[in-house]
Amino acid sequence: MVAEAFKTLADPERRRHYDAVGVVVPMGDGSATFGFEGFDFSVESVGGATASTFGDLFADVIHETVDGATDAPRPGADLHVTAPISFDESMHGTVGTVTLVRRDACGACAGSGTMSVAESLCPACRGAGTIRSARGHMVFAKPCGRCGGVGRQRRAACAACGGGGFAARNEVIPVRIPAGIADGDRIRVPAMGHAGTRGGAAGDLYVTVQVAPHPHFRRDGDDLHLIVPVAVHEAALGARFEIPSVDGPVRLRVPPGAQTGQRLRLRERGMPSRRDGQRGDLVVELRIVLPAVLDERTKSLLRAYGELNTDDVRAELWRDTPLP
Ligand SMILES: [Zn+2]
Ligand SMILES: [Zn+2]
């Protein structure tokens, strides 16, 4: 993994490859591991471009000032990782670990990218103190950026990090996922992104939670929705039976004359709020189910029912739309 990181550091084509995909390894005790791969080196400095147009030429002439600006501390890039969790973990919360490789300050040079050396000629200007460049008819001489025009150096690029000031570092970062977290919610872990440049603050790590859908409960805010089938006679006469909830079986009372689509609300049987733990509701939607009628006895009972109940169930349809 570390070798992989160095490869990424070295190859600019791969720098833009970031955004990680997490993998959960359940640990059986309510904790989980989120694997991670990918890097965000998107704040790497640009520069070193070859001048070919006037605009570029101008940019090159003022490069000295730009160089000076890049010496200022700059914050590190944020890291993003996706953590898939189960519905149950979103309900009760969990502690997972994000395993990743981040860009840390180089330990050998404390992030400065340079080390003290015996005084020697500046390798950039070979002791001249100036850099000359020709563009068509114009010749530019500018002070050497490497040595500041002195022609000699007392510091050289850090041998450990090659002057970048960074080292790839494996991290196992615990992440607490609060109860009630919803799909797409983001958790910020401060200062666990990439290290800043020249003492700049480290970026943050953002963990986006991906909650697996539940086969029966659908979440809406902190409420949970459940479709409950009811038999014809239960809907007509009313019934009491048990339905599943996130707290285990709970008793539901269906009032007589219940209709398909009717909603019943069970207070505080939903998800806990991520903010204050206050529970949402379980919203039950009734769906009247008519099983296949195969036996003669049931058929004759239903015929008798039809003879007793002659009201047109479609009357509502025609109220504002008279027949021609
Ligand atoms: Zn170093
Ligand atoms: Zn120099």
**Domain contains 93:** yes
One domain, residues 207 and 60:
yes
Token digits of residue 106: 């180089």
Ligand of minimum distance to the alpha carbon of 121? 2
Quickly count: other Cβ atoms within 10 Å of residue 80's Cβ: 18
Q: Please choose, from the candidates 78, 24, 41, the residue with its C-alpha nearest in 3D space to the C-alpha of residue 205.
A: 78
One domain, residues 89 and 123:
no
What backbone torsions phi and psi does residue 231 show, to the nearest 5 degrees?
-75, 160
Distance 104 CA to ligand 1 centre (A): 10
**Domain contains 323:** no
Token digits of residue 59: 């940019």
The CA–CA distances, whole Å, from 200 to 7, 37, 71, 196 equal: 24, 24, 10, 4
Query: Cα–chain-centroid distance for residue 307?
Result: 61
What digits encode the pLDDT tens for the residues 154-205? 888 899 998 888 999 999 999 999 999 999 999 999 999 999 988 889 999 9
3-state secondary structure of 47: coil
What digits encode the pLDDT tens for the residues 85-129? 999 999 999 999 999 999 999 999 888 888 888 888 888 899 999
What digits encode the pLDDT tens for the residues 23-65? 333 333 444 455 444 333 333 333 333 333 333 333 333 333 3
One domain, residues 199 and 119:
no
Name the band, by pLDDT with cuts 50, 70 and 90, for residue 19: very low
Comparing 253 with 65, the larger pLDDT belongs to 253
One domain, residues 152 and 173:
no
323 Cβ contact partners less than 8 Å away, ≥ 6 residues apart: none
Q: Please choose, from the candidates 218, 197, 230, 240, the residue with its C-alpha nearest in 3D space to the C-alpha of residue 70.
A: 197
**Domain contains 324:** no
Q: pTM value?
A: 0.65
196, 211, 226 - which closes a domain: 211
**Domain contains 232:** yes
One domain, residues 54 and 66:
yes
Question: In CATH, what number is assigned to the domain containing residue 205?
Answer: 2.60.260.20
Mark the residues whose beta carbon lies below 5 A from ion ligand 1. Answer: 106, 108-109, 158, 160-161
| pLDDT > 90 in the chain, percent | 52
One domain, residues 153 and 12:
no
Distance 121 CA to ligand 2 centre (A): 8
The domain of 19 spans 2-109+160-211
Whole-number pLDDT of residue 70? 53
The CA–CA distances, whole Å, from 270 to 222, 247, 281, 287 equal: 6, 9, 4, 20
DSSP states of 212-226 as a string?
PPPSS-EEETTEEEE
Token digits of residue 236: 């007509």
**Domain contains 105:** yes
One domain, residues 40 and 165:
yes
One domain, residues 251 and 120:
no
One domain, residues 96 and 122:
no
193, 211, 229 - which closes a domain: 211
Ligand of minimum distance to the alpha carbon of 127? 2
Whole-number pLDDT of residue 80? 95
Give dist(CA 309, CA 305) in Å, integer. Answer: 6
One domain, residues 31 and 173:
yes
Distance 167 CA to ligand 1 centre (A): 7
Distance 106 CA to ligand 1 centre (A): 5
Distance 144 CA to ligand 2 centre (A): 5
Whole-number pLDDT of residue 271? 97
Q: Taking a C-beta distance cutoff of 8 angstroms, is the pair 274, 185 a contact?
A: yes
Q: Of the ranges 53-57, 130-134, 165-169, 213-217, which is most confident?
A: 213-217
Give dist(CA 43, CA 218) in Å, integer. Answer: 40
Distance 61 CA to ligand 1 centre (A): 29
One domain, residues 310 and 249:
yes
Q: How many domains does the chain have?
A: 3
Distance 320 CA to ligand 2 centre (A): 91
**Domain contains 226:** yes
Q: How many helices (H) and strands (E) does the chain have?
A: 7, 17
One domain, residues 148 and 170:
no
